[in-house]
Structure 1
Amino acid sequence: MNCFSGNIANLQQYNLQHNQLAQMCGSKDLFRDRYRILRILGRGGFGITFLAQDAMLPGNPLCVIKQLCPKVASAKTWQNACQRFEKEAKTLAKLGSHSQIPMLLNYFEGDGELYLIQEYVRGCTLSREVKQGGTKTEAEVKQFLRELLLILQYLYQNQVIHRDIKPQNLVRCADDGRIVLIDFGAVKEQLADICINSVHQAQTNFVGTMGFAPPEQFSLRPVYGSDIYALGMTCIYLLTGKSPVELENDGQTGEISWRNHVNVSNSFARIISKMVKMSLDERFQKPQDVIKALNVETELPNLSNCLTSKPLNTRYETKVETSESYVSSVARTAIAIREWKAKLKQRPEARG
């Protein structure tokens, strides 16, 4: 990659009228003699995303061009930006081997701007899916959660924090129905760290989305639990159809109030509520922690339903208590489960 091209982008003065790719939309001209720009997919604080065709490959397959425009003021900071960009691009290339993360096809620098070329996933975002088809059931959200937790576990194993999980960044692939996680915020955050913005540095350097990002992310200290928080908020959106900013907060605890907007089982609600705890100490720390909680929540009802729900007769109870006869381990497990469920029903939170 070139160290410095001399044409430094400034997003405060940046507009589509002076953007080369925006001007090429719909034309027959090729960007870098290879990419035919079709249209703009999105625009944010760090750049613009375009839908394009790769004219050099058979069939002219679709791809996504992400044009990142870091605010830099010297050749030294630009060189630093290029180095960090290249490092993060290589991480994205490694992650792209997962079937639910877009493949990185190319990356390069040109005229003071940075470009990522990624696989285009044909499909619909979960945000649009809810707006068009309505909210999801508890069973559907559980299935979604299990699928996404496996992706987060993969990121965790590769020491990557996504930083911007939300319904708009989750695409259901039209070809096979799998959920694909797009638009990693790690590249943006690395570039933001070295960009100069003397007046609104903290505000500009924040990477994430209001409502879906937890408190520590606003302090520019995201952790693996930050993605768990965002995933929990996404589950709440799928269940309620409401974004976090539309929901109220508990006046005493400050936690998001969502239970009165949807009818879900208490056990599943406790899992979601722990995912979106404001305090990191009270929140699930790793994807595997949530997976274990979901497995326990699923297995206990199945086990208890296999056992008789009729009360034990007095004679049998007496034998158990006095150990006058042998009681099998299955029978002891049945007794323990019934006692546990009886105690659970007496707890205030179980009635909530």
Structure 2
Amino acid sequence: MNSFPQNVSSFHADILQNTQLGQLCGQGNLFRDRYEIIRIIGRGGFGVTFLAKDAVLPGNPLCVIKQLCPKTTNPKSWERASKRFVQEAKILGQLGSHSQIPMLLDYFETNGDFYLVQEYIRGTTIAREVRRHGYKKEADVKQFLWEILPVLQYVHKHHVIHRDIKPQNLLRCEDDGRLVLIDFGAVKEELINISTNQPEKTASTHFVGTMGFAPPEQFSLRPVYASDIYAIGVTCLYLLTGKAPLEFEHHHETGEILWQKHIEVSEAFAPVLSKMLSMSLKDRFKSAEDVMWALGMESHIPSLTDCLATQRLASNPINTESDYLSPVARTASAIREWKSKLKSRKNYNRLIHPHY
């Protein structure tokens, strides 16, 4: 299964001429008696992606076929890339049918070449979206976080670290507007020790990810769930400025991105963004839930402030529907009552003890 193809070095010379799928592009002939190859839609160091039509299913729906094409003539590198490809298929199958992750439709090997067939998502990456329409406002970035964080929560609950979250791997679906996380070729599956609930200390042998979006522990070959949080934070900077992470200045000692002087965000959102972007793992959010909680609390600050300033509790409350107070109002009332008691206690102490 992992035999090294003799012509692998020619893969990157001319994809269309030196791959079976490339030669079938636009010809009308079927690949594996099923897929009509339409055109190439993407290529990278480890694969080339084609748009295809499923000629067997009713309606001939579009799909995506990804072929392993590593730019290497080294048998060990080829074997490593093959294992990554198999891992991607395994993870996509494991993640199931989440609406914001492309569904795995098929996976097979033919003549030493590896193929993934996935659901086709018609849309535009948010990287291209920003290039076309300009950078986003804070409200748009918060909306982005509310869209992507539940997906990340789902992925992490399956003990998977994506390791390559960036604007180019986030797709906005044209049909229904949903945000889709793509390209699981860099995934890492965490092995959880049930007795200790701690990740096993199994390091990779090479760095996987994208410069600028990967935090220090990922370069040290020890990615954790919080590594994906950092990548999302950097993606937020891109949305707010249109600038790639390497375009920012970095602190010469800590390596922290010096983004504050380039971006104006609210006093409530700034610490959330800073904590996502912390180079130190101990200071960074540990999970998607932590970020969502921080965003949720931040969104309730105005209403809580209003309650503290304007809501008053009747001195003799009556248990009727008209006297119903929301949980936020009840909390505000309790805070006011506590402050009043504290103030009274201090005034009493001053009377008894003038030098208090």
For residues 83 and 42 of structure 1, the distance between their equivalents in structure 2, rounded to whole angstroms, comes to 21
Asked if 1 retains the 8 angstrom alpha-carbon contact of 2:84 and 2:186, the reply is no
Offset of residue 301 of structure 1: 2.4
> Residue in 2 aligned with 1:160?
160
Inter-CA distance 146–281: structure 2 relative to 1 (3 Å threshold):
same
TM-score if structure 2 supplies the norm length?
A: 0.77
Offset of residue 85 of structure 1: 4.7
> Residue in 2 aligned with 1:37?
37
Structure 1 spans left out of the alignment, 5+ residues = 191-201, 311-327, 338-352
- Deviation per CA, 1:276-317: give whole Å up to 9, x if none: 11121211111111111111211222211233279xxxxxxx
For residues 104 and 32 of structure 2, the distance between their equivalents in structure 1, rounded to whole angstroms, comes to 17
Structure of greater relative contact order (alpha carbons < 8 Å, 6+ residues apart): 1
> Residue in 2 aligned with 1:264?
265
Residue 47, structure 1, aligned to residue 47, structure 2: yes
- SS of the equivalent of 1:42 reads strand
Asked if 1 retains the 8 angstrom alpha-carbon contact of 2:248 and 2:259, the reply is yes
TM-score if structure 1 supplies the norm length?
A: 0.78
- Deviation per CA, 1:215-271: give whole Å up to 9, x if none: 222222211111101011111111111110111112353210112222211221111
Inter-CA distance 330–29: structure 2 relative to 1 (3 Å threshold):
closer
For residues 83 and 210 of structure 1, the distance between their equivalents in structure 2, rounded to whole angstroms, comes to 22
Offset of residue 69 of structure 1: 3.3
For residues 235 and 111 of structure 1, the distance between their equivalents in structure 2, rounded to whole angstroms, comes to 43
- AA paired with 1:294? L
Asked if 1 retains the 8 angstrom alpha-carbon contact of 2:65 and 2:117, the reply is yes
Residue 104, structure 1, aligned to residue 66, structure 2: no
> Residue in 2 aligned with 1:348?
none
> Residue in 1 aligned with 2:185?
185
Asked if 1 retains the 8 angstrom alpha-carbon contact of 2:41 and 2:50, the reply is yes
- AA paired with 1:95? L
- AA paired with 2:221? L
> Residue in 1 aligned with 2:314?
none
Aligned residues: 305
Offset of residue 186 of structure 1: 3.6
Inter-CA distance 235–6: structure 2 relative to 1 (3 Å threshold):
closer
For residues 231 and 62 of structure 1, the distance between their equivalents in structure 2, rounded to whole angstroms, comes to 30
> Residue in 2 aligned with 1:287?
288
For residues 181 and 165 of structure 2, the distance between their equivalents in structure 1, rounded to whole angstroms, comes to 8
Identity %: 59
Offset of residue 126 of structure 1: 0.4
- SS of the equivalent of 1:249 reads coil
For residues 93 and 50 of structure 2, the distance between their equivalents in structure 1, rounded to whole angstroms, comes to 19
Offset of residue 31 of structure 1: 1.5
For residues 268 and 185 of structure 2, the distance between their equivalents in structure 1, rounded to whole angstroms, comes to 32
Alignment of 1:83-122 (within 5 A): 85-86=85-86, 88-122=88-122
> Residue in 1 aligned with 2:26?
26
- AA paired with 1:144? F
For residues 219 and 238 of structure 2, the distance between their equivalents in structure 1, rounded to whole angstroms, comes to 21
Structure 2 spans left out of the alignment, 5+ residues = 190-202, 312-329, 340-356
> Residue in 2 aligned with 1:127?
127
Inter-CA distance 331–297: structure 2 relative to 1 (3 Å threshold):
same
Offset of residue 157 of structure 1: 0.7
> Residue in 2 aligned with 1:304?
305
- SS of the equivalent of 2:278 reads coil
